[in-house]
């Protein structure tokens, strides 16, 4: 197996290493190549008078970002990265990079996000970018471990569907043989069906598709949703679970990604404190009305400006609870004694919404009624409604945007930074 560059030490004597030529400097009698892999950088020092002709010939052919391999003695030197250098006995050019490069990997020349996304194959070589996706991987691992420990069953539901989850226009139609079908905007209906199927605790981490026309720094047209549904649970129960999950994700990053956090300049990374404040929708509207210039009233949805105003006042993760039934989806459970409000909640980061969830309606007739009340035709939801007639447990759940979790956790300026190949209004390639 190859020796990762970070593990090369002078004690090893002679080593072989392989990676990208990060920087090349020719000072006449002495030349240097910085050799990089995803773990770090090591200096190759070439004293021209002491090395073979072959090495000198190869050196001339090497361009920045070419793949090269080297064998040679490792020596301690104070000034080199990691305090060591390799003096080559052999030097091989394995895959030459053309010049000029479409993107400067060493970050001396800053690049626009569009150029970077077009050239992810170069952008991904930058330590900052690698760090973001190493952290995302750590978070997804921590989530799966959390769910496994809490006795969840991981499910995978179809992304090709015949009906919209919540109606509306945010759907991508696709040609499905002779039928019309859509890309699913949420696994909501399916995870609820699995409650009827007796799975009790399910989770899915998978893609959701939203044909939202707007181009913002927090919306994608293809996003990753972390979704759960739990039987015999209330909205309070799943809020507790969500808050625990968020803290676990942060904790796991703090424990395992120290180097990546440092690369990203997040030296003051802190784990959110439990318990997250719970603010009623009515109180949230009051704060927004007080702080915003544009008018906002009870019954309005919370737009970006309102989310910002409330987030500024709260200054930490918080829940917005007790939403008007009229502005939440039909499956949210209304309070028995006050059906104009429902047991729905949003989890908020001061900068944006992270999750939406609710205790769900488990009564068939009430659900049918609520679907109609939203102006939708219950007959189109027969596959979803039928399971409610044969023993549906009370249940609750939520969906959390994975990219928003990473964007807020790492203070990224744009959600596109948390996706390898974002899909937005203009971007379908690469």
Restricted to residues 367-426, the positions that interact with ligand ATP (CB under 6 A) are 399-401, 403-404
Pair of tokens at residue 371: 């679907």
**Identified binder of ligand ATP from the candidate list 212, 240, 286, 300, rule CB under 6 A:** 212
Closer CB to Mg ion, residue 66 or residue 356? 356
Other C-beta atoms closer than 10 Å to the C-beta of 81 total 16
**CB of 212 vs ligand ATP, minimal distance in Å:** 5
* Residue 417's binding partner out of Mg ion, ligand ATP, none, with CB under 5 to 8 Å set by partner kind: none
Restricted to residues 219-238, the positions that interact with ligand ATP (CB under 6 A) are 219-220, 223, 225
**CB of 102 vs ligand ATP, minimal distance in Å:** 28
Nearest to 424 by CA among 183, 221, 172: 221
**CB of 239 vs ligand ATP, minimal distance in Å:** 14
* Cβ-based neighbours of 117, under 8 Å, separated by 6 or more: 123, 416, 421, 422, 427, 430
Nearest to 408 by CA among 355, 334, 338, 336: 355
Closer CB to ligand ATP, residue 320 or residue 354? 354
Restricted to residues 332-361, the positions that interact with ligand ATP (CB under 6 A) are 353-356
> x/- site string to ligand ATP, residues 83 to 122, per CB under 6 A?
----------------------------------------
Closer CB to Mg ion, residue 105 or residue 406? 406
Closer CB to Mg ion, residue 188 or residue 356? 356
Q: What is the DSSP letter of 424?
A: B
The answer to whether residues 105 and 117 touch, using CB atoms and an 8 Å cutoff, is no
**Maximum alpha-carbon separation in the chain:** 89
Question: Binding of Mg ion at residue 356 (CB under 5 A)?
Answer: yes
Cα–Cα distance for residue pair 375/402, rounded to 1 Å:
31
Kindly report the CA angle at 215 between 214 and 216, in degrees rounded to 5? Answer: 110
Cα–Cα distance for residue pair 185/203, rounded to 1 Å:
16
Query: Which residues pair with residue 334 across a beta bridge?
Result: 342
* Residue 210's binding partner out of ligand ATP, Mg ion, none, with CB under 5 to 8 Å set by partner kind: ligand ATP
Kindly report the CA angle at 247 between 242 and 248, in degrees rounded to 5? Answer: 95
Closer CB to Mg ion, residue 321 or residue 356? 356
The answer to whether residues 86 and 46 touch, using CB atoms and an 8 Å cutoff, is no
Stretch that binds Mg ion, among 79-87, 162-170, 182-190, 351-359 (CB under 5 A): 351-359
Pair of tokens at residue 187: 């696994």
**CB of 22 vs Mg ion, minimal distance in Å:** 43
Which residue is it, tokens 């910085």? 34
Q: What DSSP line would sit under 369-422, residue for residue? A: HHHHHTT--GGGGHHHHGGGGS-PPPEEEEEEEHHHHHHHHTT-SSGGGG-SS-
**CB of 356 vs ligand ATP, minimal distance in Å:** 3
* Residue 286's binding partner out of Mg ion, ligand ATP, none, with CB under 5 to 8 Å set by partner kind: none
Closer CB to Mg ion, residue 301 or residue 411? 301
Binding residues for Mg ion, rule: CB under 5 A, are 356
Binding residues for ligand ATP, rule: CB under 6 A, are 210, 212, 219-220, 223, 225, 353-356, 399-401, 403-404
């Amino acid at each position: 197996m190859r020796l990762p560059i970070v593990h090369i030490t002078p004690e090893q004597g002679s080593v072989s290493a392989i990676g990208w030529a990060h920087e090349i400097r020719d000072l006449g009698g002495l030349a240097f190549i910085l050799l990089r892999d995803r773990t770090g950088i090591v200096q190759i020092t070439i004293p021209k008078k002491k090395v073979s002709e072959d090495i000198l010939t190869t050196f001339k052919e090497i361009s920045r970002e070419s793949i090269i391999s080297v064998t040679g003695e490792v020596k301690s030197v104070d000034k080199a990265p990691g305090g060591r250098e390799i003096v080559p006995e052999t030097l091989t050019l394995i895959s030459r990079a053309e010049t000029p490069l479409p993107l400067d990997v060493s970050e001396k020349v800053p690049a626009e996000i569009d150029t970077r996304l077009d050239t992810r194959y170069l952008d991904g070589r930058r330590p900052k970018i690698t760090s973001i996706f190493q952290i995302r991987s750590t978070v997804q691992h921590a989530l799966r471990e959390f769910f496994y420990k809490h006795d969840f069953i991981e499910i995978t539901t179809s992304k090709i569907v015949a009906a919209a989850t919540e109606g509306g226009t945010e759907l991508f139609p696709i040609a499905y043989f002779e039928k019309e079908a859509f890309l699913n905007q949420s696994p909501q209906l399916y995870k609820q069906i699995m409650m009827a199927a007796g799975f009790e605790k399910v989770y899915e981490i998978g893609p959701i598709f939203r044909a939202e026309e707007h181009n913002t720094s927090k919306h994608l047209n293809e996003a990753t949703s972390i979704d759960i549904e739990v039987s015999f649970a209330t909205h309070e129960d799943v809020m507790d679970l969500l808050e625990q999950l968020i803290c676990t994700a942060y904790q796991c990053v703090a424990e395992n990604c120290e180097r990546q956090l440092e690369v990203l300049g997040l030296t003051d990374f802190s784990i959110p404190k439990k318990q997250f404040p719970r603010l009623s929708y009515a109180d949230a509207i009051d704060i927004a009305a007080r702080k915003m210039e544009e008018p906002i009233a009870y019954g309005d949805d919370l737009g970006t400006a309102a989310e910002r105003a409330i987030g500024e006042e709260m200054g930490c993760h918080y829940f917005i609870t007790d939403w008007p039934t009229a502005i939440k989806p039909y499956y949210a459970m209304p309070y028995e004694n006050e059906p104009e409000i429902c047991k729905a909640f949003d989890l908020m980061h001061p900068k944006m919404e992270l999750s939406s969830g609710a205790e769900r309606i488990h009564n068939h007739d009430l659900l049918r009624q609520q679907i109609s009340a939203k102006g939708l035709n219950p007959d189109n939801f027969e596959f979803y409604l039928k399971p409610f007639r044969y023993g549906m447990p009370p249940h609750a759940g939520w969906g959390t945007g994975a990219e928003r979790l990473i964007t807020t956790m790492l203070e990224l300026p744009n959600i596109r930074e948390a996706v390898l190949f974002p899909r937005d209004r203009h971007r379908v390639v690469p």
